[in-house]
Each structure stands twice: as structure tokens, then as C-alpha cells.
């Protein structure tokens, strides 16, 4: 099995956002995320660092309108880059799960790199915003990323009083689950009875 570095790139320019993303799955720790939303930068940086991915992401978005387009399109860019980095998804563990505490918060994430996009995200955030980011968009980022990455993702925050902790624990749990799911298992097989993902 080839041990080449798995890398995915995505660029897109629309009337709403101008995005460039590069995601490296193997041996990379450099992270540079600049979305224009500092809390989104914080969450995506945590995701990349704990998944042990290299992530470079830059976005110029129509933040004067709202944070939605930027949050959604950045998530789609990361998801699409992940899909491209995985290629045929040969020789990967495919499944991953993790529990992550952050002080009083506790999050669970379960991932299946199935090729089938589905997300169930339950964060239970109560504030309107975290920084300049709408709390409704925090979960939407995870759902959008799952769609573009063609993965099944279940995320639930089980405990927590502080919304910052709840959101960050969720992203870190997804990171650890992804780290496990993308792990090379030493085979050259597609991990599916269908023979394709």
C-alpha cells in the first residue's frame, strides 16, 4: 500500500465567500485558520490540532450581511478537502468514536466515513452568540462538514453549563473520532462489503 501523504484542496469563489482550504491527514501539525470569525477559527483550529491534521483555511465572506455564509462555506470547504484527501478510502479504519470532557462539559462523537452524508448534532447551546458567531451556526458547521465529507456524524453534548465549553468539547470529540477513522490499518482494502465507499 502506498504511504503517500493524503492531501485535499478546495477553492471556491462566490458572491458570498472566497475560500481556499488545504487539509493534510498525515504527519502535519501546521494549522492556519482565518475565517473572519474568531470563534470559528478557534473551533476549526481545535478540530485540526486534535485530529492531527494540517489545515490551512482562509475565507473572505460577507460578514456585513451575517455569519451564516462564512460558517457554512468554511465547513463545506473543510469537508470537501477531507473527502478529496481520503480518495477511494482504501485501507482506513473507517469508524471512530470519542468522548471528550472540557471542565464541566462532556461531548460524544461517532464517525463513519461511509460515503453517505448524514449528521445528527445535538449541542444544546443556550446563548445567541459565541463571539461574533451565532450559536445556531456552530452545529450547522458540523452538519455541513459531514455533508461535504460524505460521512455519517453523530455528535451530542451530554453535560455542561458553559456554552463555550460545550461547543469546544464537541469539536474536540469530532477531532478524536476523525483521527481514529482516517487511521491507516495496513491493508489496501476498501472497508465495506460493497467494495466501495
Backbone angles phi, psi at 132, to 5 degrees: -100, 10
For residue 2, the model assigns a pLDDT of 52
pLDDT of residue 74: 98
Cell numbers standing for residue 2: 502506498
| Domain map (residue ranges) of the chain | 7-181
Global pTM reads 0.96
Cα separation, 133 vs 139, whole angstroms: 11
Predicted pLDDT at 195: 80
The pLDDT value given to residue 182:
98
- Per the CB < 8 A criterion, the answer to whether 154 and 160 are in contact is no
Does residue 120 sit in helix, strand or coil? strand
Instruction: Tell me the C-alpha distance between 171 and 124, whole Å.
Output: 14
Q: Decide if 107 contacts 165 (C-beta within 8 A).
A: no
**Cβ atoms 31, 54 nearer than 8 A:** yes
The pLDDT profile of the chain, 197 residues, written as one tens digit per residue, is 457 999 999 999 999 999 999 999 998 779 999 999 999 999 999 999 999 999 999 999 999 999 999 999 999 999 999 999 999 999 999 999 999 999 999 999 999 999 999 999 999 999 999 999 999 999 999 999 999 999 999 999 999 999 999 999 999 999 999 999 999 998 988 888 888 88
Angle ∠(83,84,90) on CA atoms, nearest 5: 80
Contact predicate 181/112, CB 8 Å: yes
CATH homologous superfamily of 7-181 equals Imidazole glycerol phosphate dehydratase; domain 1 (3.30.230.40)
User: φ and ψ at 15, to 5 degrees?
Assistant: -70, -15
Helices (H), the chain: 38-51, 68-86, 135-149, 163-181
> How far apart (Å, rounded) are the C-alpha atoms in residues 19 and 61?
8
Which pLDDT belongs to residue 154?
98
pLDDT of residue 1: 45
| Length reported for the chain | 197
**Do 112 and 95 touch, CB atoms closer than 8 A?**
yes
- The residue assigned the cell 462566490 is 14
Report in angstroms the alpha-carbon separations of 15 from 21, 37, 134, 196. 18, 18, 21, 36
Amino acid at each position: 500500500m502506498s504511504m503517500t501523504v493524503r492531501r485535499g484542496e478546495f477553492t471556491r469563489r462566490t458572491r458570498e465567500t472566497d475560500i481556499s482550504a488545504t487539509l493534510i491527514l498525515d504527519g502535519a501539525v501546521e494549522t492556519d485558520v482565518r475565517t473572519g470569525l474568531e470563534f470559528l477559527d478557534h473551533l476549526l483550529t481545535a478540530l485540526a490540532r486534535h485530529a492531527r491534521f494540517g489545515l490551512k483555511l482562509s475565507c473572505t465572506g460577507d460578514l456585513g450581511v451575517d455569519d451564516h455564509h462564512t460558517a457554512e462555506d468554511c465547513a463545506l470547504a473543510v469537508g470537501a478537502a477531507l473527502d478529496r484527501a481520503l480518495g477511494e478510502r482504501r485501507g482506513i479504519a473507517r469508524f471512530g468514536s470519542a468522548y471528550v470532557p472540557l471542565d464541566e462539559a462532556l461531548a460524544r462523537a461517532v464517525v463513519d466515513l461511509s460515503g453517505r452524508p448524514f449528521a445528527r448534532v445535538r449541542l444544546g447551546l443556550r446563548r445567541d452568540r459565541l463571539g461574533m458567531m451565532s450559536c445556531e451556526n456552530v452545529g450547522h458547521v458540523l452538519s455541513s462538514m459531514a455533508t461535504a465529507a460524505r460521512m455519517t456524524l453523530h455528535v451530542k453534548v451530554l453535560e455542561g453549563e458553559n456554552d463555550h465549553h460545550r461547543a469546544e468539547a464537541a469539536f474536540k470529540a469530532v477531532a478524536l473520532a476523525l483521527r481514529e477513522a482516517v487511521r491507516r490499518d495496513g491493508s489496501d482494502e476498501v472497508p465495506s462489503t460493497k467494495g466501495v465507499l
